[in-house]
Structure 1
Amino acid sequence: MRIILLTQDDPFYLAQNIDYLIKNMPKHSEVVATVVFDVSPFGKRESFSDKLKKTYDIFGLGFFVNYGVKFVMSKLNPNKKVKNILAKHNVPLVEIEGNINKVENLERLKAYKPDLLISIAGNQIFKLPLINLAPKGCLNLHTALLPKYRGLMPSFWVIKNNEKYTGVSVFFVDEGIDSGDILVQKKVEIGNKTQAELIDHTKLLGMQAILESVEKIHTGGYELIPNPNEEMTYFSFPTKDDVKEFLAAGKRFY
């Protein structure tokens, strides 16, 4: 089965997990190409200076310095760069211009004859021609137990809201936001994890869920888990006040 990954050049969590995913891909499937989007932690495309300012304004000096140091260190470590991991595994990088839904970009993807698309932190809205491009569909990884906690930064919100459990959901993409039927879902206890620890945990768990999903699609023997809109909750990016409440309750980012 021929797979195209749709992801972003995240400097903190993705490189090592995509490395794990490609290394453990079953023999009947292979990643034949990858699209790497620009990083957009706030859910939209912004300049680098705007990202810095917004990070400082919302999360404060300590968070800004901590992740600033991690960002610099990632630039010095080739194993923290998604594109380097792809090169190590000889996975071609599909160069796109602008929105992935443009006809010329879809034609570039079609040239690789994918059977399946998999989005991992894909940060553009997918339209039907892209969703339907591969005959076996388009999967997305969401690090929460859908239909709860659709939207952005679920690792922050589940901790802030004192949830006991969270998890990961691999679902078939439709035209909604995190609203498609679920193929694999895994649950995990939050305990006293920091947000960074929870992200580490759920990202790896997510790769394992993707591998399980690939196996299920290969065999064809699976039952979908409903993702009903009437049971959903949705969260956008935290505000400065949300962060203050998070810290005041004794929650920790790292």
Structure 2
Amino acid sequence: MRIILLTQDDPFYLAENIDFLIKNLPEHSEVVATVLFEVSPFGKRETFSEKMKKTYDIFGASFFVHYGTKFILSKLNSNKSVKNILAKHNVPLVEIEGNINKPENLDRIREYEPDLLVSIGGNQIFKRPLLDLAPKGCLNLHTALLPKYRGLMPSFWVLRYNEKYTGVSVFFVDEGIDSGPILVQKKVEIGDRSQEALINHTKQIGMECIIECVEKIHSGNYELIPNPDEELTYFTFPTKEDVAAFLKAGKKFY
């Protein structure tokens, strides 16, 4: 099965996990190309200086210094670069300009003849022509128990609202937001994990779930799990007030 990844060059969490995914895919499947989106933690495209200012304003100085230091160190460590991991595995990049749904970008992706698209941190809305491009569809990884906690930064919100459990959901993408039918879902106990530890834990489980999905799709033997809109909760990016409530509840970022 020919797979194209749709992801971003996240400097914190994705490189090692994508390395694990590529190494552990079943023999009948391979990543033949990758689309790398611009990193956009706030859910929209912003300049680097805008991202820095927004991070400082919302999360405060300690958070800013912690992740600023990690960002600098990631630039000195080739194993923290998604682009370097892909190069190590000889996975070519699909060069696109602007929105992935533009016809010329779809043509570039189509050249690789994908059977399946897999989105990991894909940060653009996917339209029907893209979703129909691969005959096996498009999967997306979301680190929450859908239909709860759709939207941005679920690791923050489950801690903010003192959930005892969260999870990982891998679902077939439709034209909504985190709304497609679920193929694999795992429940995860949060315990006393910080947000950083929770992200690391669920991302690793997420890679294992994607591998399980690939096996199911290859065999054609699977049942879909409903993702009903009537039960959804949806969250955008936190505000300063949300961060204050998070800290007041005794939760930790790292």
- TM-score band by shorter chain is over 0.9
In the other structure, the counterpart of 2:23 is 23
Distance 1:208 1:251 in 2: 27
In the other structure, the counterpart of 1:14 is 14
Superposition TM-score, scaled by structure 2 size:
1.00
Aligned length: 254
SS class of match (1:32): strand
Distance 1:141 1:180 in 2: 11
1:196-235 equivalences in 2 (<5 Å): 196-235=196-235
Distance 1:160 1:125 in 2: 26
Distance 2:221 2:156 in 1: 35
1:158-177 equivalences in 2 (<5 Å): 158-177=158-177
What is the deviation of 1:198? Answer: 0.1
AA matched with 1:67: Y
Q: Flag structure 2 segments of 5+ consecutive residues without an equivalent.
A: none
Distance 1:198 1:115 in 2: 32
What is the deviation of 1:110? Answer: 0.4
Q: Flag structure 1 segments of 5+ consecutive residues without an equivalent.
A: none
AA matched with 1:132: D
What is the deviation of 1:16? Answer: 0.3
What is the deviation of 1:236? Answer: 0.6
What is the deviation of 1:169? Answer: 0.3
What is the deviation of 1:249? Answer: 1.4
Percent of aligned positions with the same letter in both sequences?
79
1:102-113 equivalences in 2 (<5 Å): 102-113=102-113
What is the deviation of 1:248? Answer: 1.3
AA matched with 1:29: S
In the other structure, the counterpart of 1:93 is 93
What is the deviation of 1:205? Answer: 0.3
Deviation string 1:56-85 (CA, Å, 9 cap, x unpaired) is: 000000000000000000000000000000
Matched, 1:77 2:77: yes
In the other structure, the counterpart of 1:185 is 185
Distance 2:142 2:18 in 1: 15
AA matched with 1:122: G
SS class of match (2:223): coil
In the other structure, the counterpart of 1:151 is 151
SS class of match (1:139): strand
Distance 2:167 2:89 in 1: 28
AA matched with 1:102: K
What is the deviation of 1:250? Answer: 1.0
Deviation string 1:13-51 (CA, Å, 9 cap, x unpaired) is: 000000000000100000000000010000000000000
Distance 1:18 1:226 in 2: 27
Superposition TM-score, scaled by structure 1 size:
1.00
AA matched with 1:51: K
AA matched with 2:151: G
Distance 2:97 2:162 in 1: 41
Deviation string 1:216-245 (CA, Å, 9 cap, x unpaired) is: 000000000000000000011000000011
Distance 1:63 1:132 in 2: 41
Runs of 4+ in 1 over 2 A off after TM superposition: none
Distance 2:163 2:245 in 1: 15
In the other structure, the counterpart of 1:244 is 244
AA matched with 2:165: Y
Distance 1:24 1:175 in 2: 29
Deviation string 1:106-139 (CA, Å, 9 cap, x unpaired) is: 0000000000000000001100000111000000
Distance 2:33 2:61 in 1: 38
Distance 2:249 2:171 in 1: 33
Distance 1:93 1:249 in 2: 43
AA matched with 1:50: E
AA matched with 1:145: L
In the other structure, the counterpart of 1:194 is 194
SS class of match (2:52): helix
